[in-house]
Amino acid sequence: MNGSTDSVANVLFDSNTVGSPNDPLDVVLRAILQEIAKANASGYPIREKDIVRNFDLGSHLAVQKRLEMLVGLNLVAKKRNPADRRERLLYLSPLVQEKFDRFAQEVRQLKEE
């Protein structure tokens, strides 16, 4: 990778960690954030159960624990579904949304070069 591509890769999460340096940002955490981002970008939230049930990257329990870690670190917001109060809808936090926006901006700049 060249220097500009490296900088784009590091925009989302500095030093590939969430929270403290002891909490690595692994494949499952990245995939969860990407799925929530895709749903939110389409104008829709994603249900918590859709994330947990549809991931092939680990057991349901492992995905649930990682999702709870993201909620605990305020990277993902969880809200009740007004149509079905039992469901939880997931949204990116403003911090993560800002990082994704910066990432998209840098990708557009690289594409123009």
Q: What is the pTM of this model?
A: 0.67
State whether residue 30 is helix, strand or coil: helix
pLDDT at 60: 78
Fold topology of 26-112: Arc Repressor Mutant, subunit A (1.10.10)
13 alpha-carbon distance from chain centroid: 10
Domain chopping of the chain, boundaries? 26-112
pLDDT at 90: 92
pLDDT at 98: 86
Residue listed under structure tokens 């680990």: 58
What residue ranges in 18-101 does DSSP mark as E strands? 46-47, 76-80, 88-92
Q: Residue range 50-68: average pLDDT?
A: 79
Of 113, 23, 40, the C-alpha closest to 76 is 40
Q: Residue range 2-25: average pLDDT?
A: 46
Bridge partners of 77? 91
Cα separation, 112 vs 61, whole angstroms:
42
